[in-house]
Structure 1
Amino acid sequence: MDYRAVFQIAAAGMDLEKRRVEVAALNLANMHSSVPAGQAAHAAQRVVAQPLQVNFNRAMGLAEPALLSREVQVVTNEAAPRLVHEPGHPHANAQGFVAYAAIDQATEMVTVSTALRAYEANVAVASTAKLMASKALEIGGQG
């Protein structure tokens, strides 16, 4: 059995989850940033990925493993900015409102948490495949 496909799949999963954490961190970092009146506030972003498609024969090592790829995009949420009444703020508009990014801290923290768990699961898959390959080599070497 060829374990390269398993490692490629796990690596693709880890890469996706790393991107999700990076984008959530960017959203959290910009959550309280404001811009002068008339300019667009930071918009929340999301990672969108197409599912991986793996040929069963390739996964079982019966065919040449192909490099896995999928389309991963970072899309911008076009939600209206959150307006907060702060008349003394230097970025306030004529009515005294400051535009902040429409970012929900709880949603971003859930994204970070679920991405971490998914990353850990992919690490476990890679570790298990490594252990299986090592055990197969041990068995083969004893004969």
Structure 2
Amino acid sequence: MADSRLPVGGVTQAIAASALRAQQARMRIIAENLANADSTSKTPGGDPYRRQAPVFEPTRISGARGVRMSKVEADQTEFRQEYDPGHPSADAKGYVKLPNVSSLVEAMDMRQAQKAYEANLNVIETARSMEQRTLDLLKK
């Protein structure tokens, strides 16, 4: 049930705006993952950067349901390993742990987040346009 404080178009815009904020946060997490895709531990045998994943949940917005990023969780998949005994982060057997970040997966996630962002931006623009047309009709 919509809240009486906002017109229907305003509720629609508020919901879409919540999705814009959520996708913006998602893109920041993806950018952080990509920035750390090749990082290694500062100590021999230590763990490198662990991929982060956003967690979304529904939230109440103007009497309707929107979305928000509730937290960021570490991806628990295994680290990649590479044999490089001369590397400062290599363990006793000569293996270096590399982040569990796949640039291909991150690129696909980024593209999906961009598409979702654009779709919600279109919702806001369409709602505004419809409201303006309604106002124009009422003026006549």
TM-score (normalised: structure 1)? 0.84
Q: Counterpart of 1:27?
A: 33
Q: Counterpart of 1:116?
A: 114
Q: Counterpart of 1:131?
A: 129
* Larger strand proportion of the pair: 2
DSSP 3-state at the match of 2:8:
coil
Q: Which moved more, 1:71-80 or 1:84-93?
A: 71-80
Q: Counterpart of 1:97?
A: 95
Deviation at 1:14, TM superposition (A): 0.6
Q: Counterpart of 1:18?
A: 24
TM-score (normalised: structure 2)? 0.85
Please provide the CA RMSD for this pair.
Answer: 1.9
DSSP 3-state at the match of 1:3:
helix
Matched, 1:48 2:46: no
Deviation at 1:105, TM superposition (A): 1.2
Cα contact 2:48–2:97 (8 A) shared by 1: yes
Q: 1:107 to 1:69 in 2, by over 3 A?
A: closer
Matched, 1:141 2:110: no
What is the CA–CA distance in structure 1 between the aligned matches of 2:117 and 2:47, rounded to whole Å? 33
The unaligned stretches of length 5 or more in structure 2 are 1-6
DSSP 3-state at the match of 1:50:
strand
Higher relative contact order by CA 8 Å / sep ≥ 6: 1 or 2?
Answer: 1
Q: Deviations over 1:50-94 (max 9, x none)?
A: 23567xxxxxxxxxx348564522111122221111111111111
Deviation at 1:112, TM superposition (A): 0.2
Q: How many residues of Structure 1 are paired with residues of Structure 2 in the alignment?
A: 132
The code of the aligned residue for 1:18 comes to Q
* Identity level (%): 28
What is the CA–CA distance in structure 2 between the aligned matches of 1:118 and 1:138, rounded to whole Å? 30
